[in-house]
Structure 1
Amino acid sequence: MQTHTDTRQERFASGFIAGLAAGILATGVMLLLNILLNGVSLPEEVGGAITRLMPASIFDALHRLIGADAKRIFVAIVVAGQCAVFGLIGGLVNLATTHPVLVNEKKNGAMRLGAGIFLALILWLASGLLLLPLVGAGIFGAQLSSGTGGTMWSLGLVGLIYGVLYVLLRNWFRIREQIEENQPGAQERRARAKRTRRDILRNGGIIVGVGVMGILAWRFISNGINGANNLAQLTKNFKRKIIPAPTPNYGTLQPAPGLSSEITSNDRFYTVSKNLVSDPTVNASSWHLEVKGEVAHPFTLTYDELLKIPTKQQYESLMCISNEVGGPYMGNALWDGFPLSALFERAGGVKTGATKVVLRAADDYSDSIHLSKALEPTTLVAIRMNGETLPQLHGFPARLLVPGIYGMKHVKWITSIEVVNYDFRGYWQGQGWNDAAPIRMTSRIDTPRTDTSLKAGQKTYIAGVAFSGNKGISEVDVSLDNGATWQRTTLKKPITALTWVLWELPWTPKEGDYTVIARAVDLEGNVQDPNPASPAPDGSSGYHTVSITVR
């Protein structure tokens, strides 16, 4: 059998393909171990480090440009990047591996299985001693919830799968190439295949690049068109505060199709977290809650002990700080929990000089609230949601509720509560997001939706929700003439001042094109800010607007 001498390019290419294929499988195993057994996920840690380094303004701009799929696209990019690195490693190893200890020349240059095990060891050490400390996870993930032990075994298993599979695939490719080399016309086929691969890479890269640029350009242009409004008209007679505050126009609402339910079901309640791949699944039997720091007597609670603390019910709405004007990241639920202050009382009180309360979670998330906020009677540790045990996606076994501030402060999957005497900055504050995070008043038009076509002369309803944190809503107004005039809507009396308010306006339209705008006023008389602002770093502002055609 004649043996073709591979060029360096061919050796790298075959090694890259073997490494890429092995890397795809190894990455899949890594993600499964992370989801099922709390193993370490390198895409999660690397992606998290990238987002932490990204300023809030850039993070927000990318989110608005790409849209609601931004997180999934970013995850796909990070995972694809890891697979590409595995491929690159495979190509470089195939170039460098010529030593008889690693390659058996008597078997046509087949790589020994020991070479794959050695490669797995190198990757294990590099990931644990270099990569994880570099992204802030500590040596072999010492700073992660998986701990050093969980990180070491999961990295080791993934590395072993990659190393062994890489050797098997590399040897299979080599045998296949040698068999094909002895077939008639082999040299011509090799040259043609080489040209084809080069053309595919070049032309494919151009097509992908042009496509991505086209999509981003279209989003930029369309967002600019859709977001344009006559701000001067809206602010012409704007008054920041009405004194005295309007008396709420409470009444009975019609069941307008598309209007949000007053209570958001658990499965429809929004979920947002820092996690790129998966949120934690907490085992109640092994979970415990630490209360520590600047308290007289630190202590630890098991889940069973937590359930014995007397609870109360509280209706409260939550909104994410990344919610756009008119966005979906709002919800209202009935929560069962106990005041956070009850834990401090159990700890014998808070020491003099304490200023903040730091909360840490099972997914290594952290944030803090001011001690004065923590001591408010409506700041709860919640253990039930809408009459059910707190769902995993919403923070089981326990989460924080802090009325009046954005959802990033309502820490889920709590594992420790620490009272401190310094200015602790949490996960998102490192990117520049507002630390106090007070909710900015907002109103949303649920129905009709933008670009809806209605029939002239047929009665319909303009309806939606309004929310102002813990300040309540006294009035919601709707304009059909770009803010020149406003019509007062009917409000459904809210359950508490901590929840959103449903509103509705009956309307029998005439033919024409309409721009519908909504604004709110809180119970203190503060009027919703008409000036548009993106979510970063303080939360979004501006008036929600929809375009409607009536024929």
Structure 2
Amino acid sequence: MGALPTTQKERWQRGALAGLLAGILASLLMLLLSLTMGSISLPEALGSAIAQSLPLPVFDYLHTLLGGDAKHYLFYIILVGQCLVFALFGGLCNLLADRLNFGQWRDEQGDLNYSVGLMLAFILWLFSGLIFLPLTGSGIFGAQLVTGALNTMFSLAITGIVYGLLFIFLHNRLTWRLLRRTASPDQETAEALESKRIERRSLIRNSLVVLGLGTLGVAAWRFITGSSGGTASTADPQLQSNLLNKYQQKISPPPQPTYGEWQEVPGLSSEVTSNAQFYGVSKNLLSDPSVKGDDWQLMVDGLVSQPFTMSYKELLALPMHKQYESMMCISNEVGGSYMSNALWEGISLKDLLERAGTIKPGATKVVLYAADSYSDSIHLAKALEPTTMVAIKMNGETLPTSHGYPARLLVPGIYGMKHVKWITRIQVVNTDYQGYWQQNGWSDPAPIKMTSRIDTPTYGSKVSAGKQAYIAGVAFSGNKGISQVEVSVDGGKSWQKANLRRPLSALTWVLWELPWQPQAGSYSIVVRATDLQGNVQNPKIAPPLPDGSSGYHTIPITVS
């Protein structure tokens, strides 16, 4: 069987197809190593760099359009792009193997030697470590990442070698397949071969089109329906104008909470959120870090007289206390689900700082570093508050991996991005340190804005006329508590006080409910809250970026 006569275009196509298939398998291996061993994930590195470099208006638009899933869409797009880059390298390799034939790289049948695959792996290894990763801000071979340069070099080498050898194997299989066809007595005509090539190109093109349209379709669906899940109503200017005109910023003296007889209402949030249902947000596109407690250490240093490092076992031996505390993400929309409540157990951050001796003059902030290269800071005065905690247990269980095992920060009264997970270092500094999200334009002080949410009835639902029903939900004001919740069923023209359930602590949300026996008709239900200091929830509609959302949760209801 002689050599396969092919054109330059055909060699390119055969190399690109082999590179694409090998690239898909190599990418899956890279993700597997990242998930199981904490190794480098190139899509994650690029995605993080893109997220931080996006102009604030673009970031805000994408966040509004796609919500919390935006980072997942970005990851999938980059992953597809990585596979296409692998295809590009495969096509170029198959062309250059003939033009730069240093030694016998291809035999007489057209097969490539496996040494070519190893050479390709080495080139990709150098390209990733010396060019790609530095451009993403990760340093040479990821030296700036928590994974470290050695881990990155090893995992990139494994991925590259697997890709290179798979590329040669697949390329040669494609070559032999074509050779058998040309040597067969009933070989296909040139027209038939060309037809099959067109079909293959069409299949690849159509697959990419379907992938793109699918992504755009999901984005469009989120754009059309996302706001119906519970944000403040912007469609009725008259309603917004009415709320703003009648807005009273503060009530003095503050109302006294009314804790009446409580009725369990279906659809109302649980007072304590289970670990599995507690909301989770991180900067990571796909996988969060998996930290081993036996190897973990916490460093406390900076402007302190006695810096120290302790193990997880030593941390567990310290005196601990418990506190109920609710958390809310700064990206939470009005009426959104990024808000939860749990019982936490841990060590006061103040106690850890005191263990480090005297805080030196000039110190202004405490910086928290995490195992996923995330970082943020809080003001020293906030760090010294007794309720600021390094938590190691959640709802009576060891802190789950997704919520920061082995240790995370809790900072009552401040949005969740400041509650750093997977802590590895606590540093006292005299600079105005700006964390990961602050560099992206989000608020640095990040105090929680008062919010209230209607859990039941749900948006656009139908309620039976003349039957006993309940309007119920939650209200939250960080560490300022809730003194009253008011509900309007006529778009803010009149208000009724809801019954409150006594909160588990001054740091948690408050559950509220209002008995309702409606008549047939259409209703616009609005809710607002007042904190224990008499501050009234702000009706002015604002998006989450950069300081957190505001506005009144408003839902339409049909009673029939």
Q: So what's the TM-score if we normalise by structure 1?
A: 0.96
Q: How does 1:189-338 map to 2 (within 5 A)?
A: 189-197=192-200, 199=202, 216=219, 219-220=222-223, 227-229=234-236, 230-338=239-347
Aligned equivalent of 1:497: 506
Output the CA distance in 1 between the equivalents of 2:227 and 2:316: 51
Deviation at 1:143, TM superposition (A): 1.4
Aligned equivalent of 1:188: 191
Asked whether 1:366 is paired with 2:367, we answer no
Aligned equivalent of 1:41: 41
Deviation at 1:309, TM superposition (A): 1.1
Aligned equivalent of 2:165: 164
Output the CA distance in 2 between the equivalents of 1:112 and 1:492: 74
Q: Is the 8 A contact 1:3 1:181 kept in 2?
A: no
Deviation at 1:271, TM superposition (A): 0.8
Output the CA distance in 2 between the equivalents of 1:405 and 1:281: 26
Q: Is the 8 A contact 2:66 2:223 kept in 1?
A: no
Q: How does 1:341-360 map to 2 (within 5 A)?
A: 341-360=350-369
Deviation at 1:184, TM superposition (A): 2.8
Output the CA distance in 2 between the equivalents of 1:181 and 1:317: 70
Deviation at 1:215, TM superposition (A): 5.7
Output the CA distance in 2 between the equivalents of 1:202 and 1:267: 40
SS at 1:252 equivalent: coil
SS at 2:528 equivalent: strand
Deviation at 1:64, TM superposition (A): 2.4
Deviation at 1:381, TM superposition (A): 0.7
SS at 1:192 equivalent: helix
Deviation at 1:209, TM superposition (A): 6.0
Aligned equivalent of 1:545: 554
Q: Pick closer, same or farther for the CA change 1:437–1:236 going to 2, 3 Å.
A: same
Q: Deviations over 1:328-358 (max 9, x none)?
A: 1111111111211111211112100011111
SS at 1:473 equivalent: coil
Q: Pick closer, same or farther for the CA change 1:102–1:492 going to 2, 3 Å.
A: farther
Output the CA distance in 1 between the equivalents of 2:55 and 2:512: 37
Deviation at 1:528, TM superposition (A): 0.8
Q: Pick closer, same or farther for the CA change 1:106–1:335 going to 2, 3 Å.
A: closer
Q: Pick closer, same or farther for the CA change 1:399–1:251 going to 2, 3 Å.
A: same
Aligned equivalent of 1:470: 479
Q: Deviations over 1:3-61 (max 9, x none)?
A: 55322222211111111111111111111111111111111111111111123442232
Q: Is the 8 A contact 1:102 1:114 kept in 2?
A: no
Aligned equivalent of 1:390: 399
Deviation at 1:419, TM superposition (A): 0.5
Q: Deviations over 1:347-381 (max 9, x none)?
A: 11210001111100111110000111111111111
Unpaired runs of 5+ residues, structure 1, are none
Q: Pick closer, same or farther for the CA change 1:301–1:106 going to 2, 3 Å.
A: closer
Q: Pick closer, same or farther for the CA change 1:217–1:309 going to 2, 3 Å.
A: closer
Output the CA distance in 2 between the equivalents of 1:537 and 1:515: 29
Matching residue's letter, 2:189: A
Output the CA distance in 2 between the equivalents of 1:84 and 1:489: 57
Q: Deviations over 1:76-128 (max 9, x none)?
A: 11211111111111111112111444655544121110111111111111111
Q: Pick closer, same or farther for the CA change 1:292–1:532 going to 2, 3 Å.
A: same
Matching residue's letter, 1:525: G
SS at 1:69 equivalent: helix
Aligned equivalent of 1:518: 527
SS at 1:316 equivalent: strand
Matching residue's letter, 1:228: A
Deviation at 1:202, TM superposition (A): 6.3
Q: Pick closer, same or farther for the CA change 1:179–1:76 going to 2, 3 Å.
A: same
Matching residue's letter, 2:47: G
Q: So what's the TM-score if we normalise by structure 2?
A: 0.94
Aligned equivalent of 2:140: 139
More deviation, 441-450/208-217 = 208-217
Output the CA distance in 1 between the equivalents of 2:148 and 2:227: 46
Matching residue's letter, 1:176: R
Matching residue's letter, 1:5: P
Aligned equivalent of 1:422: 431
Matching residue's letter, 1:38: G
Q: How many aligned residue pairs are there?
A: 551
Q: Among the aligned pairs, what percent are the same residue? A: 55
SS at 2:127 equivalent: helix
Unpaired runs of 5+ residues, structure 2, are none
Output the CA distance in 1 between the equivalents of 2:278 and 2:29: 30
Aligned equivalent of 1:405: 414
Q: Pick closer, same or farther for the CA change 1:206–1:32 going to 2, 3 Å.
A: closer
